[in-house]
Amino acid sequence: MSNEQNRAEVDKRRTFAIISHPDAGKTTITEKVLLYGEAIQKAGTIKGKKSGQHAKSDWMEMEKQRGISVTTSVMQFPYGDSLVNLLDTPGHADFSEDTYRTLTAVDSCLMVIDAAKGVEERTIKLMDVTRLRDTPILTFMNKLDRDVRDPVELMDEVEEVLKIACAPITWPIGMGKQFQGVYHLLRDEVILYQSGQGHTIQDTRTIKGLDNPELDEAIGHYAQDLREEIELVQGASHEFDLDAFLKGELTPVYFGTALGNFGVDHMLDGLVEWAPTPQPRETDKRLVEPTDEGFSGFVFKIQANMDPQHRDRVAFLRIVSGRYRQGMKARHVRIGKDVRFSDALTFMAGDRDHAEDAWPGDIIGLHNHGTIQLGDTFTAGEDMKFTGIPNFAPELFRRIQLKDPLKAKQLHKGLIQLSEEGAVQVFRPLNNNDLIVGAVGVLQFDVVVSRLKTEYKVDAAYEPINVATARWIHCDDPKTLEQFQNKAQENLAWDGSDHLTYIAPTMVNLQLAQERHPDVTFRKTREH
Ligand code: GDP
């Protein structure tokens, strides 16, 4: 492999995910984004790939039939000269820890906001997670075809609540039934909106220059309003600053309607121009650059029952460096063995086929019969481990109870394995025999009971338990730790990997414990 080829493949790629509150329009935007991808594919910009349309629609059909998608799928599509990987983040009832973890495997995020509603609760949580890596964020204010809130007010809210500066790249002209289009501040052009073109790529009319008399002809009094508004906006808002964007301190903001398929392309233009190419990653030994020659990657998600016919699990691996080739060997670092990737799934341009090559920024799916865990590293032989793929403190807790007490061993084994996979977290209190299951999304509980039944032949049910949150305990001084263990025993538990965890019945209790034990660290995430 030549280094130039590697560099070129890396430079082409953008790997991102969408963060949003349910119903803000994530699914609709994803559809439109793929529409652009397919159109470009059809137009032949990306050559030499067989059309994957069939495979993809079958795949989506399958997900639809199952109701809520329990999977996080990966979509690759071409845009301009770039190849974009979009990692889907489970959002509604299927919201789970995987949603959080996916955000640690991308290089940038698109934040979608329902412009009628503004910043909502789920978005705040997800933004928090992106801060672990200071991931660059683009923002799309959606649903401008409805009566939405004042754009200045929306940006103020984002700045205040999410603590990120906003730099408008486009500015809306009117809204709802009167939505006329947007003014692109950097290109100095107005792009006019026409309703009823949601299913196709819009045939847009562009008018160059704010002072262009054509503008007055096209949108009447909106033209003069726009000129005055833009003057104010330019004075009062941040200018786009690439550096600040890359540090996650400033977000470029776009306005449009995903349903009307207007504005999504402006955002995509920004994404391929500014969003980072696949980034280097830290290991316990060294920093791995995407252009390093040897293959390496880490597992950020394990998906069970992806194909209902085969009860296998798929481990999603993000490639950090080198090149993946079908049939290649790689070192499974944790177990110290070389394994052959004979039937990995790739997600080339929407095709869930067996594909030949994949590069840094791409995701591959490894079939897994229990040997791969969350956070596992694969390399070309080097003994190192990627860091930064954490467990997140659960927000929901239940006590799990067996129907048949003789199955305690199986239950235990099943729960530990499911927790290694990231399906759920399990805690065993120090001073009683309870088994507490913790999750970020409610569906995780159902998935676990149903998998315990089919895979481990264990009938279990949940009971409510009074737990508000959990924190992983860290303390370098063994003596302080021991004292803490004695004092706080009734709130302590071991997690699935035998890490000491503080189980707090209320947030106030947690706060008090933290104040009482300043030498002990209470962590919201735990590394694998
Ligand atoms: P998700 O939950 O974030 O994936 O949101 P969806 O994409 O499923 O959208 C939620 C609802 O909002 C659906 O009924 C969409 O048709 C609707 N929707 C999405 N984008 C727009 C938009 O730009 N304008 C309007 N009026 N509705 C939209």
How confident is the model over 85-99, as pLDDT tens digits?
A: 999 888 777 788 989
Q: What are residue 258's phi and psi, to 5 degrees?
A: -70, -40
pLDDT band at 37 (very low <50, low <70, confident <90, very high): confident
Q: Is 89 in the pocket of ligand 1 (CB under 6 A)?
A: no
In a domain, 235, yes or no: yes
- Which residues lie below 8 Å from residue 347, measured CB to CB, with a gap of 6+? 73, 74, 75, 76, 85, 355, 362, 363, 364, 365
Pair 255, 306 in one domain: no
Output the CA 447–ligand 1 centroid distance in Å.
27
Model pLDDT for residues 426-462, shown as the tens digit of each residue:
999 999 989 999 999 888 898 899 889 988 999 999 9
Choose one of 237, 256, 274: the last residue of a domain.
274
> What CATH number is given to the structural domain containing 517?
3.30.70.3280
CB of 372 shorter than 6 A to ligand 1: no
27 touches ligand 1 (CB under 6 Å): yes
Q: How far is the CA of 25 from the centre of ligand 1 (A)?
A: 4
Positive or negative, the CA dihedral 479, 481, 485, 488 is positive
Residue 201 is predicted with a pLDDT of 78
90 found inside a domain: no
Band (339; pLDDT cuts 50, 70, 90): very high
353 lines ligand 1 (CB under 6 A): no
The answer as to whether 9 is a domain residue is no
Q: Is residue 11 part of a domain?
A: no
**CB proximity list for 430: less than 8 A, separation 6 or greater:** 485, 489, 492, 493, 494
Same domain for 155 and 178: yes
**Per-residue confidence (pLDDT) for residue 71, from 0 to 100:** 39
Residue 26 near ligand 1, beta carbon < 6 Å = yes
Ligand 1 closest atom vs CA 24: 3
User: From the CB of 25, is ligand 1 less than 6 Å away?
Assistant: yes
- Within this chain, do residues 269 and 351 fall inside the same structural domain, yes or no? no
485 CA → ligand 1 middle, Å: 49
Is residue 56 pLDDT above 70, yes or no? no
Residue among 21, 23, 26, 109 to mutate when testing ligand 1 (max atoms within 8 A of CB)? 23
Selected residue with higher pLDDT from 422 and 60? 422
Which token pair is 306? 């992806």
Of the given ranges (32-41, 191-200, 493-502), which has the lowest mean pLDDT? Answer: 32-41
Q: What is the CATH number of the domain that holds 326?
A: 3.40.50.300
Instruction: Give the tens place of pLDDT for each residue, 129-156.
Output: 999 999 999 999 999 999 999 999 999 9
pLDDT for position 391: 92
Above 60 in pLDDT, residue 68? no
Q: Is 92 annotated as a binding residue?
A: yes
Indicate whether 252 and 286 sit together in one domain.
Answer: no
Question: Is 486 annotated as a binding-site member?
Answer: no
> Measured from the CB, is residue 114 less than 6 Å from ligand 1?
no
The DSSP-derived string for 258-272 is TTTTBSHHHHHHHHH
- Whether the CB of 444 sits within 6 Å of ligand 1: no
Tell me: do 234 and 285 sit in the same domain.
Answer: no
Of 357, 379, 401, the domain-final residue: 379
Predicted confidence at residue 16, as pLDDT, reads: 98
pLDDT of residue 39: 62
59 has pLDDT over 50: no
In a domain, 146, yes or no: yes
The whole-number pLDDT of residue 60 equals 42
Nearest protein Cα to ligand 1, atom 14: 23
Ligand 1 pocket residue status of 412, Cβ below 6 Å: no
Sign of CA dihedral 447, 75, 194, 233: positive
Judgement on whether residues 363 and 405 belong to the same structural domain of the protein: no
**One domain, residues 321 and 437:** no
pTM confidence score: 0.90
The pLDDT, as a whole number, for residue 50 is: 36
Considering Cα of 153, then 158, then 163, then 166, what sign does the dihedral take?
A: negative
If you measure from the C-alpha of residue 451 to the centroid of ligand 1, how many angstroms do you get, rounded to a whole number? 32
Check whether 143 is labelled as a binding-site residue: yes
Interval 478-509: pLDDT, tens: 999 999 999 999 999 999 989 999 999 999 99
**Ligand 1 atom at minimum distance from 257 CA:** 23
Annotated ligand binding at 123? The verdict is no
Q: Is the pLDDT of residue 117 over 90?
A: yes
Q: pLDDT tens-digit profile of 73-87? A: 788 888 999 999 999
Structural domain harbouring 434: 393-527
Q: Confirm whether residue 26 is marked as ligand binding.
A: yes
Does the Cβ of 258 fall within 6 Å of ligand 1?
yes
Separation of CA 57 and ligand 1 centre (Å): 20
Cβ atoms of 249 and 265 closer than 8 Å: no
- Residue 112 CA, closest ligand 1 atom number: 3
Q: For residue 425, which of 451, 458, 455, 397 has the smallest C-alpha distance?
A: 397
Q: Tell me the C-alpha distance between 462 and 400, whole Å.
A: 5
pLDDT greater than 70 at residue 61? no
Using the predicted structure, report yes or no on whether residue 243 has a pLDDT greater than 50. yes
Q: At which of 379, 412, 443 does a domain end?
A: 379
The pLDDT of residue 404 is 87
* Structural domain contains residue 98: no
29 and 158 co-located in one domain: yes
Does residue 227 register a pLDDT over 60? yes
Is a pLDDT exceeding 60 seen at residue 203?
A: yes
Averaged over 415-422, what is the pLDDT? 89
The pLDDT score that the predictor gives to residue 420 is: 86
Strands 165-168 and 250-255: parallel
Tokens linked to 521: 């660290």
Tell me if 91 is assigned to some domain: no
Do 431 and 363 lie in one domain? The reply is no
Answer yes or no: is the C-beta of 78 below 6 A from any ligand 1 atom.
Answer: no
What is the per-residue pLDDT for 191?
A: 97
What is the spatial distance between Cα 203 and Cα 208, in angstroms, rounded to a whole number?
Answer: 16
Confidence label for 514 from pLDDT (cuts 50, 70 and 90)? very high
Task: Express each pLDDT in 256-309 by its tens digit.
Answer: 999 999 999 999 999 999 999 999 999 999 999 999 999 999 999 988 765 555
Same domain, 355 and 458: no
| Count of the separate structural domains present in the chain | 3
Tell me how crowded residue 116 is: count the other CB atoms within 10 A of its CB. 17
Averaged confidence pLDDT in the chain: 89
| Higher pLDDT, residue 436 or 199 | 436
Name the closest-CA residue to atom 10, ligand 1. 23
Predicted pLDDT of residue 355: 56
Q: Look up residue 407 and give its DSSP letter.
A: G
* 145 ligand 1 Cβ < 6 A: yes
Please report whether residue 4 resides in a domain. Answer: no
Q: Tokens standing for 472?
A: 């992983």
CA of 303 to the centre of ligand 1 (A): 27
pLDDT band with cut points at 50, 70 and 90 for residue 48: very low
Give the pLDDT score at 311: 61
pLDDT in tens, 379-389: 999 999 999 88
Q: Are residues 118 and 267 in the same domain?
A: yes
Share of the chain residues as helix, strand and coil, in percent rounded to the nearest 5: 30, 30, 40
Between the CA of 91 and the centroid of ligand 1 the distance, in Å, is 13
Q: 120 and 261 share a domain?
A: yes
146 lines ligand 1 (CB under 6 A): yes
